[in-house]
Amino acid sequence: MKSPSSTISTRDRLIVALDFPTQARALALVSVLSDSVSTYKIGLQLYTAEGPGIVRAVAATGAKIFLDLKLHDIPNTVARAVAAAGELGVRMLTVHLSGGRAMLEAAVEARSPNLSLLGVTVLTSATPETLSETGVNFGIEEQVLRLAELGRKSGIDGLITSPHEVRILRERLGDQMKLFTPGVRPSWAEANDQKRFTTPNEALQSGADYLVIGRPITADPDPRAAVERLLGEIAD
């Protein structure tokens, strides 16, 4: 199934994960890629090391920021964190859908107009044992669909999904939610620790709107050429 969001430009479909230990290394890559990449993901490692200054610094280059903090706390605390992210200028922020409806609705209520909330269903590192040891007695796919539906009913804007769940989520949700897919590898890149990856085009053909890609770009000796190659593949 082709993504219904064909109005998204090829360039905007790519989100580069800035999985670096320091601001200096992250900004060095952003300056190399600034002509070709519109959006960067800042995750727990870089945010914990550098704080909100890293968001301001990358946003100051004109880029959009996807802040991947996977919030999961009491509704009031999550709502305040969402509001703070909006004030920082963050454009996309992740929350754990397993936080439940009250937490999700509080997050939605607190979001500023430019901020999209993205729900995390079941982490791809989870196994059936992970679910059962935390008291969830459903299979992974059933739990993913349950949480996705909870996110939709709570007003969440999009979902983070493995490339293998994109198709079923797109079929269930129609075009109501944007789907963001990590675990993507172009044929010419190393797999690294990603085990069940697909190519960028397979993910898009299955219904993904956005691709989150790190090491195939960040670990390439010529990251700019890697981005151009990837964008060329997607455009084709």
Take residue 98 and report the two structure tokens written for it: 């397993």
Q: How would DSSP label each residue in 54-73?
A: HHHHHHTTT-EEEEEEEE-S
CB of 182 to ligand C5P, least distance (A): 3
CB of 5 to ligand C5P, least distance (A): 20
CB of 18 to ligand C5P, least distance (A): 8
Angle between helices 101-110 and 75-88 (to 10 degrees): 30
SS3 159: strand
The pairing of strands 158-160 and 210-213 is unpaired
Between 5 and 45, CB nearer to ligand C5P: 45
Backbone angles phi, psi at 198, to 5 degrees: -125, 175
The pairing of strands 210-213 and 64-71 is unpaired
CB of 193 to ligand C5P, least distance (A): 7
Which helix or strand (DSSP H or E) is residue 160 part of? strand 158-160
Cα(208)–Cα(180) distance, rounded to whole angstroms? 6
Q: Which of 59, 68, 125 is nearest to 92 (CA)?
A: 68
Between 110 and 179, CB nearer to ligand C5P: 179
Between 194 and 199, CB nearer to ligand C5P: 194
Between 78 and 226, CB nearer to ligand C5P: 226
CB of 162 to ligand C5P, least distance (A): 6
| Catalytic-labelled residue, pool 2, 41, 64, 70 | 70
Active site residue 70: yes
Residue nearest to ligand C5P (CB): 214
SS3 120: strand
Cα(226)–Cα(216) distance, rounded to whole angstroms? 7
Q: Which residues bind ligand C5P (CB under 6 A)?
A: 17, 19, 43, 123-124, 160, 162, 182-183, 192, 194, 212-215
Between 17 and 30, CB nearer to ligand C5P: 17
Q: Which of 84, 106, 226 is nearest to 156 (CA)?
A: 106
**Active site (catalytic) residues:** 70
